[in-house]
Structure 1
């Protein structure tokens, strides 16, 4: 008899719970987001918190052990060390150059995909853009190393230029796809109206196309800039003696065995990206991600 009562009560409880969640959308949303937010808090924000805490520790110069005592020494060395300032500025310059190159290359490609190609061709072009992302990062980087070597097709050699070229190739799809999505939302009637009013190609681009797709371009720049800013593998493969922020972090974790200083250096690209995101927030770029 007890089993029958419990079984009968269970559907009623489920109906009441469903009715409660239906009336309280905020509670329903909180339950749906609880698991991913918990994972984000533990895996991502937790890792950043651990990184920040470690940056305020130091390393014993004799034993190599981490001394878990609060100190500003790592950040003082970063600010006062001319080498680290040069590396930071070089890293920002490389990220900006990669972003600009990808923008110049990606925009006409995305425009052709969105406005000139047929619907069937658009699907194939999107697949063609995505295809390089399916290949291994190392395979693509070493392919450029072969091409840039003295005996390679290009023969430019290794260094800063090779790093910029390789990174521009690696992150190009991340610029094409947001711009393509932005151009696809651009009504063709606006382009027709601009032509009817006598606007030539450049003026149509400057007054109609670019203002409406600028947020999409900024969204793509977030990917290319951040990925280039923190990269160190490409620099190791084709950069020669070039040093960027990622290499300084890697070298201090490995050869120098100075984890606290590596953590302090790793906060630099985080701060740069936070400033960059705050600057582009008003452009509407974050809604295009």
Structure 2
């Protein structure tokens, strides 16, 4: 009986192999079907459901969602309070992206041009190491660092710069009682957390800058500043834009960092959480969620034209 089962299994496997051999595209179809279904149903389906919910409204009397097409929910986004949330989030995302690009470029340049062997491995380890630790641990650690009794305040006090810090914290809309409850603190934590996502694409782009072009610029009498402006920066710019996709989008949708470090002024992620969880206003929460999707759609279109995807 065992001997007869073996030929049956062999013949079944042979028939299946023959089918795959005659239809070369069939194995690819079999392997891609589960992830495509998952992407189509769970991801795209969720986005379509979200978009559909954003065109509903909330009945003020009963507190129930009215499943009828309306633009009144999107009109609520233009109210001063809600529009201020959107503006604040976009401005913070842009500032974080610019700051990360300024900090990341010299680090990436040193790694691409001068780091070799063990030093390059050490560079990758140093950049990736913060990503291996817990996201929440890093945020709470920064809350302690920025607190009034934290090490940063101690450093300002040691350097006799406390009056300068107090002057900055006194700026309306930017400061607060301490760095841990100010927009400056939120900005610093965002810059730190997303910095690796800017360094790696920038470093990859700088690796692809031909050394002979830099040498040719020097041979032709170009100063280092001119070489940087006309050779290095244009060729590395797609990598910077690629990194900005991560830093901008992650800041745009994050709600944990502003919840732990910063003021009581809301960001888009916090508004979505509050409207969906506390207020129960699902349509307005969905409309808020559509905002970063639209912004990132426009941003990715511009980034693609700038060649950012070639640097990823």
Q: TM above 0.5, one fold?
A: yes
Quote the residue 2:191 is aligned against. Answer: 168
**Change over 3 Å in CA distance of 1:256–1:147 after alignment to 2:** same
Which residue number in structure 1 is paired with residue 99 of structure 2?
Answer: 101
Contact 1:159 1:241 in 2 (8 A): no
Structure 1: runs of 5 or more not aligned:
none
Match of 1:140 in 2: 138
State the TM-score, normalized to the length of structure 2: 0.84
Is residue 2:250 matched to residue 1:227? yes
Q: For residues 250 and 21 of structure 2, what CA distance do their matches in structure 1 show?
A: 46
**How big is the alpha-carbon RMSD for the aligned residues of Structure 1 and Structure 2?**
2.1
- Superposed CA offset, 1:73-121 (max 9, x none): 2111113x12222221111110000000000000100111111112221
How far does residue 178 in structure 1 lie from its aligned partner after superposition?
0.6
1:184 counterpart (186, 189, 207): 207
Deviates more, 1:70-79 or 1:117-126: 70-79
Per the alignment, residue 17 of structure 1 pairs with 19
Once the two structures are TM-superposed, the CA of residue 9 in structure 1 deviates from its matched residue by: 4.4
> Does the 8 Å CA contact 2:20/2:27 hold for their aligned counterparts?
no
Which whole-Å CA distance do the structure 2 matches of 1:193 and 1:32 have between them? 49
Match status 1:116 vs 2:114: yes
Matched, 1:128 2:151: no
Per the TM alignment, residue 53 of structure 1 is displaced from its structure 2 partner at its CA by 1.4
Distance in 2 (alpha carbons) for counterparts of 1:4 and 1:223: 54
Q: Aligned pair count?
A: 285
Shift of 1:5: 7.8
Report what 1:35 is aligned to: 34
Q: Give runs of aligned pairs for residues 1-289 of structure 1, distance below 5 A.
A: 9-10=11-12, 12-22=14-24, 24=25, 28-79=27-78, 81-155=79-153, 156-157=178-179, 158-289=181-312
Which piece of structure 1 moves more, 28-37 or 254-263?
28-37
SS of corresponding position for 2:151: coil
Segments of structure 2 that go 5 or more residues without pairing to the other structure are 154-177
After TM superposition, the score normalised by the length of structure 1 is 0.91
The one-character-per-residue Cα deviations of 1:107-150 (angstroms, maximum 9, x if unpaired) are: 10011111111222111110110110111111111111112222
Looking at structure 2, the residues matched to 51 and 286 of structure 1 have their Cα atoms a distance apart, in angstroms, of 27
Deviations 1:172-197 (Å, cap 9, x if unpaired)? 00000111111122222222222222
Q: Which shifted more, 116-125 or 266-275?
A: 116-125
Distance 1:184 1:145 in 2: 36
Deviation at 1:61, TM superposition (A): 3.1
Q: CA deviation at 1:46?
A: 1.4
